[in-house]
Structure 1
Amino acid sequence: QVGKLREKIQEVKQEREQEQHKHTAYVSELKAKLHEEKMKELQSVRELLIRQHEQEVARMVKIKDGEIQRLQSTVNVLRDGAADKVKTALLSEAKEEARKVFDSERMKLQQEILELKSGKKQLEEALNNIMQADKMKAADLRTAYQSHQDEINRIKRECEREIRRLVSSLSNACLFQFIAGNFIYLYVFDVKEQHLDERDVRRFQLKIAELNAVIRKLEDRNTLLADERNELLKRSRETESQLKPLVEKNKRMSKKNDDMLQCIQRMEEKIKNLSRENVELVALKRHTSLNDLSSTREEQEIEFLRLQVKEQQHVIDDLT
């Protein structure tokens, strides 16, 4: 039994370690996925900015090429001998157009810079929200794991308490069977020694038959208790994921308690009958010691049954 309990404890420890490894792997996987998604998003933003910058550079190069060509044509005209007024007008016009183009480009670049700053701020906020959600998820996982471990420990304690109770019941039943067997032997020996008449022999044979019936009942109960103990050992491996058998077990224990109470009532009636028989046999002095032994045996049996009822009642109270 101790070996089985140790194996059970080892299995619970292994399952707890496996569950902890699963939780750790799950948290690591979530962190890896979050990092991968964040890197993908940053890479996409980076590629978008690079494309926009390349497009803007190409557009600026195209505009500058047009300006260079126009200025080159103006220079060619001036080289051909144009007047100074035309040269001045063309230069002022070129400066004005260049200033307008420069102002417009500067405004566009400033607007793009503001948009990029706002996008960066939004990405940072999203990253903070994702990290906060990850922390909350990890806390929930730790809480669920702790509650699961507490439930496993509680069920294990209840199973160990039930097993100890059944082992104690089996020991008491075996002891009572041994005492009853010795008493029957002494009882028969005294009957043979004292040469009782036929009526007393029949009466004592009936009592011996009753004692044998009680012994058979105790043997049956011993077998039932052994079967129940094996069943409990088997079910203790399933109680980690199934709690419904505890309710059914509570019902069975209540029913067994009622049966034991009825058995006590029957035994009390039997004691009353034996007491009346003892009153009738007061005149037979040689039978006094045997009757006292019978009454003592019946009282011990009643006391034993009462103790069993109390133990079962405590177990039922613990389960409820």
Structure 2
Amino acid sequence: MEKKIILDGIVVAKHVKDQLKNRIADLKEKGIVPCLATILVGDDSSSETYVRMKGNACEKLGILSERIHLSKDTTTKELLEKIAELNEDPSVHGILLQHPVPGHIDERKAFEAIAIEKDVDGVTSLGYGQTAFGFGDFPSCTPAAILEIMDYYKLNAEGLHAVVVGRSPILGKPVSALLLNRNATVTTCHSYTQNLPQILQQADIVVAAVGKPNFIKGDWIKEGAIVLDAGYNKGNIGDAEYDNCLEKAFAITPVPGGVGPVTISMLLKHTVQAAEKSLKFKVSAAK
């Protein structure tokens, strides 16, 4: 029997970051320091932790992290003004609005205000559309991480049946589009899907993105499937039953240490790409 592969996201994330070091050094030689602006609205402790983790990851790699913390009473108008200010700032290359924002803010309106060339987190509808059409620069970071893991471990999606469980606009939908663009046959499932276990038993690739702990059971998995668990629930639990799915799967991501670390590395990669694009724009504008 073929040896099972544990898809180690920590190893993949390190590989991505190592590849970025020279690119960051080249940019600095040309007078550009890649900069990610993170906006946190309110006092959600989990969001504060995520923003701090992203900022620390930036700083370790030599990317500037501009942290903007707005009060929970911030209005949609005030948030839009701050985003507009960052859009106009040439020293800022990427903008990340930490989700969720307080309920009185129009989150979608705020996401849509982010300039496409700075949408390094892949949250705008324009960015999603470009991703679906196959020419987007910055797909949402978790879908990008899933593909990065597949590439690192040379897991080819072409001709395989991929079942994505979840249809969120920054995970389920874009990862379905990315896999389709790689010539997989994609089934996107959700809370209204009937006979989910039977559908998953046909899947060569399973993407767990439903946001419910241990939702996908081991006996739903086809022998030899690839399981990519993008879930992260309280207690370091993924959306798939790890031990039971491992028995059936050929390859599987652990939680933690799977998709999560690579998601952050994709954010860094997109920020560096955005800085490189801004440099090209400067050069062409000067000609």
TM-score range, shorter chain: under 0.3
More strand by share: 2
- Max radius of gyration: which structure? 1
More helix by share: 1
TM-score of the superposed pair, with normalisation by structure 1: 0.21
TM-score of the superposed pair, with normalisation by structure 2: 0.22
